[in-house]
Structure 1
Amino acid sequence: MNAHQIILLLLIGYMVFSIDKKKNYFPVPVVLVLLGLILAPIPYFAEVTITKGLIFNVFLPALLFISAYSFPLKALKKNKWIITCLGTVGLLLTVSLLGILIYFVSNLFVQFTWIGALLIAAILTPTDPVSVVSILKETSSDKKIADVVEGESLLNDGTSIVIFTVLLGMFVNETSFSFSTLIGEFLIVSLGGIFIGISFGWLMSKAVHYTHDRQYQVMLSVIVAYGSFYIGEIIGVSGVLATVSAGLMLSWEFGKNSKEDHFRNSLDGFWSIVEPSFLSLLFLLIGIQAGDYLIFPEWYLAIIIFILSIIVRFVILISLTQTIPAWKHQFSMKDTSLITWSGIKGTMSIALLMGLEVASDKNDILISLTFAAVLLSLVIQSAGIYPLTRRLKG
């Protein structure tokens, strides 16, 4: 991808963000992905591709840092237990149940291994709230649902990649599934990433006082966002959780002192430009890349997998919220339905999918099926969240 293509894609993204007056019914990410699909057949974009390295090394650290740093700490403190449960226990249960269903249903049509089915489930588990959180906040006076959806996404982005990595190793090496290995790796990689992130966030909150120049302070935030991610990956722990933890730690440290408001303003000004720019490029690239995978005969199976992912998420959420007394009175059936529908697949799912693409030499039906299911989720659930919220919360 050359500089001319980047500028053109940024221009398209700018136009979409600027003139999209019906964001509720047609959220910007949906419009960008659909535009990417339209651009895909154009020869000028024939060589434009999106890779796992591009998503992980360029887009994710910045987007994760922005989400974590801007996430309200009061909301995190208030919903910490359900967010933690959904991002750990809930995620493991979802991968297990969805993987089992995909295995049995898919084998009626095509031949899948257990690990292959679990890999699809792991890719479809992380959520991306970028296109729904603002709608949830605007259409409901109760911010609880939006806070839970956003907080869950922050955590399960990191935990899902740990599970996916372990399963991918089993898939590539053709080894049998080991639950103990999965849990062991999950704990080590997750806790290690969190430790790195907290350390980085705390160090930055202290180092920022060595200069009063706001430009240099913002530069330091870039170092923390990317540095925590890369160090985590280098030493073998979760870079995603490291960046998320660094952003949350930084926000918490600055939240203790009102004198840091000037720094927050500088940080917000910089990252508020980075975020829509990166999102424009990312979702347009996803649409362009999708064109290579969406022509295959098993679309019916992709639709079934997409429907199963929603059903399983709803079952897990109902099971957790209705069996734990503290949550039973907080989350009604309507709340659970909204949280279920808000579990849209997006950036992290595509990143994991690109990792599977490399491992399967681009010739596996797993790629097309999963890409189609992710795209269905992104388009259908994003477009449906506003009318669903109005209906349930009206």
Structure 2
Amino acid sequence: MLLAIITSIALIAVGKTYPVFSTYVSGLVSSIDFPSVLMGAMLNFLLFAGAIHISMQDLAKQKLPILILSTLGVIVSTFLVGSLMYALLLQLGLDVPLIQCLVFGALISPTDPLAVIAILKRAKIRKHLEVKIAGESLFNDGVSVLLFAILLQLAQGSEVDITFKNVAGLFVQEMIGGLVIGFLLGYIGSQGIKRINDYQVTVLITVAIVMGGYMITRFLHISGPLTMAAAGLVIGNYGKKTAMSITDKDYLDKFWEMIDEILNAILFMIIGLELLLIPNIQQDWIIGLVSILIVLLSRYVSIWLPMWVIPKIERFDGRTMAVLVWGGLRGGVSIALALSIDTHLNQNLFLSATYYVVVFSIVVQGLSMGKLITFINRKQKV
């Protein structure tokens, strides 16, 4: 991603002397429909690849914190980020409606499973913390995308039924429906693998689950990310335990690790090159830098508040809070959602702010995560 950003800056500099060349490269990048490529293809493969390596037993032990962080935490963060962004823009003399700021809050609040899981693989973090962060990132996309869709429609002026009954119905359809279909696909795939002792067919069945599952989610209007996460969990736990030989497991793990590495490399490269398509990123540097602080503060409050308001919930100490806040990385999902905002709803402004947050999140937070863990572990030993 850093190399892609440096390349983009170099292309912008070259473009001042040779504008035709810069325009040509920008045209190539703009021809990539990033929201469709990420949300419709890459995200499904990457979520499945990440989920097959996560233990359902570990998730079950941390189910309550994960549920709260991925639902109530996202909602708290959305409205806090939106309100603080609205106040910031007013201070800067920009008349941006609150509802548009809430749209920004919804797209920037969820932690990105692709960035988070990639970083957690390399950080020597305590198991229960790793499970909390990874589990939250796997399951919060369903809530955030639903919240984003509702707020975006309100910002567009569309008539939206925001009664509790309708929102709850959408929540059940998107999230519960996604989990049910995902578990069902994983179970059916495991049964198929069990009857065919061939590692090549085993791998192909898992690919079919991802590709076919995506078409099913589109048809049923349910959460694709949740479906893929649930299917991956079933294959990675039930399927490996009951249906696969040692050879099958070995080839399956190697295949999906390779897919994970290749797609992550492509994803972060595209994120870096998206810099070419953000027209006002230099002018919006103040908004971008303050947005980073707003997102970090909101992340802290969204973790702290539910834990203290809801009784009998695990209370996190300062070191745990530091890891949870700093480990809540934002990534391609936020940029994809920002690109789907209508142009007349201040898309360029919010896209610039999103890019600042994502770059800081992945480069600064991501690269320093290991050092933070080492520092905390050293303090605990002392």
TM-score of Structure 1 vs Structure 2, range by shorter chain: 0.7 to 0.9
Cα drift, residue 311 of structure 1: 0.6
1:290–1:74 distance in 2 versus 1, CA, 3 Å:
same
The aligned residue for residue 121 of structure 1 is: 105
On the 8 A contact 2:153/2:160 being kept in 1, the answer is no
CA offsets, 1:263-317, max 9 Å, x none?
Answer: 2222112111111111111111111112321534221112111111111111221
Q: Give the drift of 1:370.
A: 2.3
Aligned-residue RMSD, C-alpha: 2.4
Alpha carbons of structure 1 residues 259 and 273: separation in structure 2 relative to 1, 3 Å: closer
In 2: Cα distance, 1:353 partner to 1:115 partner: 14
Aligned-partner residue type, residue 347 of structure 1: G
Residues 163 and 182 in structure 1, CA contact (< 8 A), matched pair in contact too: no
Give, in whole Å, the separation in 1 of the partners of 2:86 and 2:167: 19
Maintained 8 Å contact 1:344/1:381:
yes
Aligned equivalent of 2:18: none
Deviates more, 1:240-249 or 1:314-323: 314-323
Percent identical across equivalent pairs? 24
* 1:186 and 2:182 matched: no
The structure-2 alpha-carbon separation of the partners of 1:209 and 1:65, relative to structure 1 and needing over 3 Å to count, comes to same
Deviation readout 1:81-130 (Å, 9 max, x if unpaired): 11111111111111122222222222222222222111111111121304
SS in 1 for 2:156: helix
1:344 corresponds to 2:329? yes
SS in 2 for 1:297: coil
Number of corresponding residues: 359
- Give 1:66 shift: 0.6
Does structure 2 retain, via aligned residues, the 8 Å contact 1:170–1:177? no
Is this contact kept in 2: 1:40–1:289, CA < 8 A?
no
Counterpart in 2 of 1:227?
Answer: 212
| Cα separation, 1, equivalents of 2:347 and 2:175 | 31
Q: Where does residue 128 of structure 2 map in the other structure? A: 144
For the Cα contact (< 8 Å) 1:149–1:343, is it kept in 2? yes
Q: Deviations over 1:172-231 (max 9, x none)?
A: 235579363544423321111112111111111112234322212211111101221221
Q: 1:350 to 1:178 in 2, by over 3 A?
A: same
Which residue of 358, 366, 379 corresponds with 2:350? 366
Instruction: Name which of 87, 91, 94 aligns with 1:108.
Output: 91
What is the CA distance between 1:78 and its match in structure 2?
Answer: 1.4
Could you tell which deviates more after superposition, 279-288 or 35-44? 35-44
**What is aligned with 1:48?**
29
TM-score by length of 1: 0.83
Partner residue of 1:132?
A: 119
In structure 1, distance between residues paired with 2:175 and 2:101:
23
Matched, 1:312 2:283: no
- Contact in 2 for aligned 1:226/1:243 (Cα 8 Å): no
Q: Do structure 1's residue 89 and structure 2's residue 60 form an aligned pair?
A: no
Question: How far 1:75 moved relative to its partner?
Answer: 1.8
2:144 is equivalent to residue 173 of structure 1 = no
CA distance in 1: counterparts of 2:243 and 2:202, whole angstroms: 17
Structure 2 stretches of 5 or more lacking a match? 15-20
Unaligned runs of 5+ in 1: 1-29
Partner of 1:21: none
Match of 1:393 in 2: 377
Return closer, same or farther for 1:149/1:164 CA change in 2, 3 Å cut-off: same
**Number of the residue aligned with 2:46:** 63
Write the deviation string for residues 252-271 of structure 1: whole angstroms up to 9, x where unpaired: 32254385443222211211
Residue 8 of structure 1 is matched in structure 2 by none
Aligned twin of 2:145: 161
**What is the CA-CA distance between 1:233 and the residue it aligns to?**
1.9
Separation in structure 2 between the aligned mates of residue 54 and residue 342 of structure 1, nearest angstrom: 25
Q: Does the CA-based 8 Å contact 1:353-1:371 persist in structure 2?
A: no
The residue type paired with residue 286 of structure 2 is Y
